[in-house]
Amino acid sequence: MAELTSAGAHEVIIEPRRSWLRLDLREVWDYRDLLTLLVRRDLLARYQQTLLGPLWHLLQPVLTTVIFVVVFARVAGIPTGGVPAPLFYLTGLLGWNYFAQNVTNVSGTFLNNAALFGKVWFPRLVVPVSVVAGNLVTLGLQLIPFLACAGYYAATQGLAVFSWKMVLLPIAALHVAALSLGVGLCMAATTARYRDLLHLNQFLVQLWMFATPIIYPLSQIPARWAWLAWLNPMAAPVEVFRWCLLGGGTVPTPLIVTSLALTVALLVVGLIAFDNAARSAPDTI
């Protein structure tokens, strides 16, 4: 179908793509204004009619850290590799919370936007990308409790936690963003057809947290179970977060390479599955 403007100088051709891979990532860039609007919409929707507004994002890691300190550090006695327990848990939760929020929100893309997708055409990939981009604001807010806690330990115990390594944190965040987008797109493709799998996906994310070195250091994993860390692409980013923010942690290069390879594979599979699901999702929801 071709559409001509009144001046006849511009022509837009819309035609079906016949190849099995119909991804056109340039379309996402062409709709960057819509992406910005969706990010702004989601941020405003989160804080409207809330008592504390963005402060909820600061309280979430703090309350979770308090629970982890009491249950895992004091009661269970799980070591934290010589790092004060609050700092250890806060750094682990930074990367994990960003990952979990992205996966949970992206996995419901077709269910949560069915009315919008049924009325207006635009690249469907814009919606999950806006979720991942918008949650970066939450990640930035959750850095505040860590900085406050790190400043306390630096002033009272002389703990050196601020170093040049912090400038590499955006690279670790980009790794988590790509991984969570790939996983979320795969889940979104499945929930588009089987909507009850959305509950299963949330359960799997919770289980995934305990398989990730958040409440325990990677160095504490027994040798016979070390292969599980290699199969978990979130193990490396969590340790990289600790390395950037605390200056320590177990960050073997082969583990990072393996995690990056799995991230790329999941992202490619997720993009293909999401693109295929987007063709029929409005008809099946």
CB 142 within 8 A of CB 92: no
pLDDT at 32: 83
CB 223 within 8 A of CB 201: no
Residue-level pLDDT, tens digit, the chain, 285 residues = 444 445 555 565 555 555 555 566 777 788 888 888 888 888 777 766 555 667 777 888 899 999 999 999 999 888 888 889 999 999 999 999 999 999 999 998 888 888 888 788 888 899 999 999 999 988 998 999 999 998 898 888 877 777 888 889 999 999 999 999 999 999 999 988 877 777 788 889 989 998 899 998 888 888 888 788 888 999 999 999 999 998 776 678 888 999 999 999 999 999 999 988 887 765 545
| 241 Cβ contact list (under 8 Å, min separation 6) | 91, 92, 94, 95, 169, 172
pLDDT at 3: 47
pLDDT at 103: 95
Residue type, 59: L
Residue at token pair 């991984």: 179
pLDDT at 9: 58
pLDDT at 22: 59
Displacement of CA 181 from its chain's centroid (Å)? 7
pLDDT at 87: 92
Among 223, 87, 103, residue whose Cα is nearest residue 159: 87
Residues in the chain: 285
